[in-house]
């Protein structure tokens, strides 16, 4: 960089304490690093795991959290100068692309991966430095983060921050399950990640069932592409499975090979998802909880089913996710709200208290 950049952010200093405003100074970038001026950074429940629930960051504290980042590249190392001035989405998990795992097509288990807000400072800041090789450019986007995106007057670069986890993670899970037109997808938990999972499944042409315990989320289910929305507390596991099966039959869907996406990250949600296994099913574990759940693992054998864990989204899938948004097939505007970064403590309080149903994006 020709001149140093002075940035600010909010760092986690210890579990249970509010983030503290701090300064960062960037002078020299490595050959494959980019300095991104942050347009927006989402608040994810993973961040609350670090802040509130004792989940340890891989980098020692203090650390700036935040891994749902969009912005504009303002400087880059000599291998990435072509990106300067480009609007981008920063993948939440950035693999090295060179190790045996990456070359074998399993980049999400790369031992050298970089997770902003976990392995290094993240996006709750005015600027962030990240590996440049995985950045996803946003075609046609302005460098002004408040300008509308091409063909999408209600969407700006700031909205795209949520792509980096809330949208791309369920996209990766559904891609791994090879979901296509006419498949049956059952989404357990319609908040945040689950809501986008339902939208993506519907965009892929699937018959979508949404399950949630929240009346407000169930009311939104049709707008997310769900043809059927159910509260799993109303029926026992057998009756719930029967209701889903009857609706699927009416749609002309199969009684086997259901794709069940557990997005709630709760023990009841995981039990509900497990109870919906059918022959040839694929159970996608997308949500996360530190709590344990007791299951009869032999059901996988009996149903010849699969259980697939999903950690993030490979960077090469990001352009397809961006295209879904630009084509209007995934609605970000209705499910995103902006808060000033300097109001982070209040924003975190509202997320914890479930006072804000939409995804909160912090704006520097």
Question: Which pLDDT band, with edges at 50, 70 and 90, does 342 fall under?
Answer: very high
Q: Which residues are within 8 A (CB) of 92 and not within 5 positions of it... i.e. 6 or more apart?
A: 67, 68, 115, 116, 164, 165, 168, 169, 312, 313
Task: Check residue 290 and give its pLDDT.
Answer: 86
Kindly state the DSSP code that residue 309 receives in the 8-state scheme. E
Residues 309 and 283: beta-carbon distance below 8 Å: no
pLDDT above 90 as % of the chain = 94
Fold of the domain built from segment(s) 168-309 = Rossmann fold (3.40.50)
168-178 pLDDT, tens per residue? 999 999 999 99
Closest CA to 259 of 174, 135, 334: 174
134-149 pLDDT, tens per residue? 999 999 999 999 999 9
Residues 207 and 184: beta-carbon distance below 8 Å: yes
Any idea what the Cα angle at residue 142 is, between residues 140 and 147, rounded to 5°?
115
Residues 328 and 151: beta-carbon distance below 8 Å: yes
Looking at the DSSP bridge assignments, the partners of residue 337 are 360
**In angstroms, what CA-CA distances link 164 with 66, 315, 359, 361?**
10, 10, 12, 12
Q: Alpha helix (H) ranges present in 226-278?
A: 237-251, 267-275
State how far the Cα of 76 lies from the Cα of 84, in Å rounded to an integer: 6
118-137 pLDDT, tens per residue? 999 999 999 999 999 999 99
**In angstroms, what CA-CA distances link 99 with 106, 129, 136?**
10, 22, 21
Question: Which pLDDT band, with edges at 50, 70 and 90, does 22 fall under?
Answer: very high
Question: What are the sequence ranges of the domains in the chain?
Answer: 5-165+314-363, 168-309
Q: Is pLDDT of 14 > 80?
A: yes
Closest CA to 160 of 174, 143, 145: 145
SS (H, E, C) 1-34: CCCCEEEEEEEECCCCCCCEEEEEEECCCCCCEE
Looking at the DSSP bridge assignments, the partners of residue 306 are 282
Give me the numbers of helices (H) and strands (E) for the chain, helices first please: 10, 18
State how far the Cα of 5 lies from the Cα of 61, in Å rounded to an integer: 22
32-91 pLDDT, tens per residue? 999 999 999 999 989 999 999 889 999 999 999 999 999 999 999 999 999 999 999 999
Question: In the chain, what is the straight-line distance between the N-terminal and C-terminal CA atoms, in Å?
Answer: 22
Fold of the domain built from segment(s) 5-165+314-363 = Quinone Oxidoreductase; Chain A, domain 1 (3.90.180)
State how far the Cα of 178 lies from the Cα of 101, in Å rounded to an integer: 21
Residue-averaged pLDDT of the chain: 96
Mean pLDDT throughout 265-287? Answer: 97
């Amino acid at each position: 960089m020709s001149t140093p950049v002075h940035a600010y952010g909010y760092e986690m200093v210890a579990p249970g304490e509010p983030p503290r405003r701090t300064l960062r100074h960037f002078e020299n970038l490595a050959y494959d690093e980019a300095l991104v001026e942050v347009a927006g950074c989402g608040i994810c429940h993973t961040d609350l795991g670090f802040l509130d629930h004792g989940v340890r960051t891989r980098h020692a504290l203090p650390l700036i959290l935040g891994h749902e980042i969009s912005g504009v590249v303002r400087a880059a190392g000599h291998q990435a100068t072509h990106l300067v001035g480009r609007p981008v989405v920063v993948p939440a998990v950035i693999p090295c692309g060179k190790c045996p795992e990456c070359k074998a097509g399993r980049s999400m288990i790369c031992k050298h991966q970089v997770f902003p807000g976990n392995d290094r400072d993240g996006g709750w800041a005015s600027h962030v430095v990240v590996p440049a090789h995985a950045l996803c450019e946003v075609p046609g986007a302005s460098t002004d983060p408040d300008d509308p995106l091409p063909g999408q007057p209600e969407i700006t670069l700031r909205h795209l921050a949520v792509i980096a986890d809330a949208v791309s993670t369920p996209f990766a899970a559904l891609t791994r399950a090879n979901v296509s037109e006419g498949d049956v997808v059952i989404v357990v938990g319609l908040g945040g990640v689950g809501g986008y999972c339902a939208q993506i499944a519907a965009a892929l042409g699937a018959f979508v069932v949404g399950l949630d315990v929240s009346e407000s989320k169930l009311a939104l289910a049709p707008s997310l592409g769900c043809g059927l929305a159910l509260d799993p507390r109303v029926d026992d596991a057998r009756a719930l499975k029967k209701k889903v099966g009857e609706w699927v039959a009416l749609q002309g869907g199969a009684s086997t090979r259901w794709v069940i996406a557990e997005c709630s990250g709760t023990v009841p949600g995981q039990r509900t998802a497990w109870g919906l296994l059918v022959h040839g099913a694929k159970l996608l574990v997308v949500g996360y909880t530190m709590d344990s759940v007791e299951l009869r693992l032999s059901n996988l054998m009996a149903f010849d089913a699969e259980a697939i864990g999903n950690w993030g989204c490979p960077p090469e899938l990001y352009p397809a996710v961006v295209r879904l948004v630009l084509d209007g097939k995934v609605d970000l505007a209705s499910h995103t709200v902006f808060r000033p970064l300097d109001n982070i403590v209040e924003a975190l309080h509202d997320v914890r208290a479930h006072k804000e149903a939409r995804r909160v994006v912090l704006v520097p």
